[in-house]
Amino acid sequence: MNFEIIFDHMPAYVLIRTEGAALDRDFDDLLTTLVDSPEWTIGTDQLLDHRNLIGSYLTWDHLDRISSIIKKHAEKLGNGRCGFVVPSDTGFGLVRMYEMMGGESVHREVQVFYSMDEAVEWISQ
């Protein structure tokens, strides 16, 4: 998985774009890069653009490992809101599964969108 972290919208939120095949370890790399960045502020809301992420093969076990990785970074993330933009019902379902597995223990609020405009409107409130 490739990712790009865009801090241009700080302090309101950080935009994270992903593309390619999603592997568990890639999420650790992404979050380590995010929270170790000098531009990062604990508690900043995050907007994840997963429209080009390939994740249709992810299973409950994959999501469980990804959830554990995210929880490992929870203190440095700081309980901000997290919005996901996905291209399909499959992506929507994966985000809801992540939420059920404890995503709301890391993020104050989790929302999923099909439209970047709607996600930006929500996260900018």
* CA–CA dist 105, 107 (Å, integer): 6
Domain spanning 2-123, CATH class: alpha beta
Of 84, 73, 97, give the one whose Cα is nearest residue 49: 84
How many CB atoms within 10 Å of residue 115?
10
Alpha helices in 19-59 (DSSP H): 24-35
This prediction has a pTM of 0.91
**Domain regions of the chain by residue span:** 2-123
Residue-wise pLDDT tens digits, 19-76: 999 888 899 999 999 999 999 999 999 999 999 998 778 888 888 888 889 889 999 9
